[in-house]
Chain A
Amino acid sequence: MTASFFTVTLILALACLAGIASVTVFGALRLGARREDSLALQAPVAASRFTIPVSIILPVENPDTLLHAIRMLMDLTYPEFEVIVVAGHLEGAFLERLSSEWDLVAKEFFYRHTIETAPVHRIYRSNFDPRLTVVSKGSAGRADALNCGVDLARFRYVCTVSDDVNVEADALLRVMSPALWDPANVLGVSSHVERRLEGSRPGGEARDRTTPRRGLLTRIAAPYQHLASLRSLMDSRLVWRQLSGGLGPYDHVAVWRRDAVVQLGGFSTTAADPSFDMMARLQTADPSRIPGHVFRSAEVFARGEPLSVRQAFRRGANRQRAVIETWRATRRVAGAAPRARRDQDKLLAYFVTTELIVPFLQAWVTAVTVVGAAVGWLSWSHAVLAIVLLSFGNATVSGAALFLRAAAPGAPDEIDLKRMLLTAPLEFVLYRPVLAFARFAALGGK
């Protein structure tokens, strides 16, 4: 009886996973290998005084990569922007290094405290480039740093960036394009960060000197992080196309309309992922109170180095917590107009399917077949076949993601493409268990 029950659930789970994978693959193939960006000329926008200025907020999480990150941001091609670096207790050799490169001087700036944050100790302005402000404040987490940046921001839109990403010169222009087209309707824009190994083979891009050497496990996990990143990009592209909304890819950079962020009380200091939480709150807020939409920008904003397995584990657990928080929070939201509510429900359904149901079903199939074989309900061949089925099914979805990615600039070349396609089936046994364990640990933590 028990064996039959598990067998039925196994078949249902596999049918469900096959259905979701088919919809995703056909959706990707239907979009075709076309680039998302139009042939619009960006140069006039990049030079116009009417292009909306942006405050870029960079919370310091890794001092080793900060100088590199600041340099890249200051080199962005955009008519008017400022960079606000928010650091917890900036002092010693690190401050000296930063000061000597950017000629920082302590200068008081009286700003509006619209959102409460940990106390600011000192504000530094750069004599070398007046667009750079560095804030030293009490450490209170990423959300608090973002809120401090929002308080200090002089411009209508704020862009929140991590210090571990590499951006191209026109990235800000790309991420801002929906807001530049229709500023009255844009509350936020999400753009993808592709996590991949740079300079992995001869001829590849050189690795930055500030990047620490990677361990064996990180190198093994790197291609799978890249695949996960590409699947996330595909998911966000598909869902945004269908539902005109979404909750952003796994790694993303976002631009927010400052007044909307302030109206919602700033980034949540208790949320597992403040940016993810803000995106969910903005899209589920009452449209009569905060009218507008969150958009996604075409293609990739930036690239990030692969995470170590430990970091990936932590990030996976964090994402799981963020997903659960979002699910709980959005279920409670009421008062929105019926049409907006319907859109939110669809968005939530898609989100729950991709973020909760699929991983759960995959884990369920694996667990039932392995445990079933161990206790004698099923044979070991069942377990092996189930894992083969899941591995190649997952690899097919990854192939569809690579198909979409290959059409955009900066796509993997043929050698990388072949390597990724060939190693994709191993992801399920080599890398997924780490993420599954992270998700499980996050659930246990709650």
Chain B
Amino acid sequence: MPALEVLLLVGSVVAIAAWAAMSVYVVRVQRQRVEAHALMDAVVQTLQREDVASLPVGARIHHIKGMADEASREMVMLAASDMETPKEAFETLYGYMETRWPEERLVREAAAHRTGRDKWRRTAALRILARRNHSDAISLMAGAADGADADVAAVAFALLGTSDDPRAADVLIAALLSRRHPASRVAVHLEQSPQPIADRLRPLLQHGDAVVRFWSATLIASDTREPGLEWDLLPLVDDKDARVRKAAIGSLGKIGGSIACEAALGLLRDPASFVRAHAVRALADLQRTDVAGEIARLLGDADWWVRQAAKESLESMGPEVWRVLMPCLEHPDRFVRNGAAEVFQNLGIVDSLIVMEAASDGPAARKIAMLRQIAAAGGVRFADSLVERAGPIVGARIRQLLTTMGLAHVEAS
């Protein structure tokens, strides 16, 4: 079959040629990439040398010009946009770029993009101009934040979040209001902004959009030095949107005060489970052990996450809550009994009690009764864990003690 042989022969030759061409191309591109990176590393290292770093910018540019002239514009941009490039090196690279390419080109690149490569240049240009505190930087970042491209907007948000320019926070708040990009992403950078934001957020607590109210209420707590915030947040505890109520009580928990405690107590009966959970956590943040009983009640909540929040909150309040927990050990609801036993365990109360009683020749009847209640509420695995925690010597005595307490199933398991 000569035709097939010719076909296979031609196909094989084409395949070998394609493989060879691809191999040469891959290696060439990689070599160029490595060389370009090495060149820019050498430029930056030269600029960090003491004898070079002490020179004025013009002299520094002159010093590196020979090396940098061999680099492409993209490589110089890459080095300049790297936030780890030292300040002096950045200034020199920026100055060098100005001498080699017009600054307007950088501004133009930062303003818009069409292709994937343009997008990379845009984000690099934005970083360079922001670091340079260029007069157009804020407006360019505002344009990027308002644009449809998520990657470019993410870079703009991050740069705005670190900017010392007061207008940066306004741009971020505008992005929060426009909702073109997820508000949570804007919030990350707004919270870390060095600008004071509480006064800017105050009017937004009454905004018509529940998402804006939610984020305003959440973010406002990051500036707790601002006086009177709790009074601004208080009306939101009754907001019609559950997410806003959750944010309001979370922030009130951080700000503190008696208003916060009352608001949180009110929200323990909120129809939305996540609001109840946050109200419980707010009371824990406020360290209000006097209302531990109210929290303990939620160990039997219909929603699992509320029960979990109640357990964690009681734990964070410390051993003082033991009196409140004791009645829970005999609660008809298994979840309440389990939850109370777990809190006793995590507070270390069970361990200290049982180790002392196991070591004693005449265990106190009241303490034995208490241990029986806790161990029975926790169940087999709970008691077994206790024995294991105590180690082989004390553990054996504890097992004996548990058996004498009538918890025979523990022995058997």
Contact = CB atoms under 8 A, between A and B. Distances in A.
B187 A406 contact: no
B12 A181 contact: no
B385 A403 contact: no
Interface of B is mostly: helix
A122 B345 contact: no
A417 B381 CA distance: 55
A403 B5 CA distance: 32
Contacts of B335: 110
Contacts of B116: 32, 34
Contacts of A105: 389
Interface stretch (B20-28, B85-93, B352-360): B20-28
Interface string A357-387: 0000000000000000000001101100110
Interface in A21-66: 25, 32-34, 38-41, 44-45, 47-51
Given A39-B155, A40-B155, A182-B182, A417 B26 contact: yes
A392 interface: yes
Given A112-B304, A389-B8, A41 B1 contact: no
A414 interface: yes
B346 A396 contact: no
B70 interface: no
Interface string A398-421: 011011001100010110011001
Given A396-B15, A403-B25, A107 B381 contact: no
A108 interface: yes
A39 B22 contact: no
A33 B15 contact: no
Contact of A11 (B4, B26, B34, B155): B4
Contacts of A403: 22, 25-26, 29
Q: B1, B5, B25 — which one has the most chain A CB atoms within 10 A of its CB? A: B1
Given A392-B19, A424-B19, A14 B11 contact: yes
A121 B384 CA distance: 10
B188 A44 contact: yes
Contacts of B29: 33, 403, 406
A16 interface: no
B33 interface: yes
B162 interface: yes
B385 A108 contact: yes
Interface string A85-115: 0000000000000000000011111101000
B23 A421 contact: yes
Nearest to B186: A50
B345 A39 contact: no
Given A392-B16, A402-B26, 13 more contacts: A11-B4, A38-B120, A39-B124, A40-B155, A41-B155, A41-B158, A50-B187, A51-B188, A106-B388, A108-B341, A122-B388, A182-B182, A414-B30
20 contacts: A14-B7, A38-B123, A39-B120, A39-B127, A47-B192, A106-B385, A106-B389, A108-B342, A108-B378, A110-B335, A110-B338, A120-B381, A154-B308, A379-B1, A382-B1, A389-B8, A414-B27, A414-B31, A417-B30, A421-B23
Closest 3 CB pairs of A and B: A399-B22, A392-B15, A385-B8
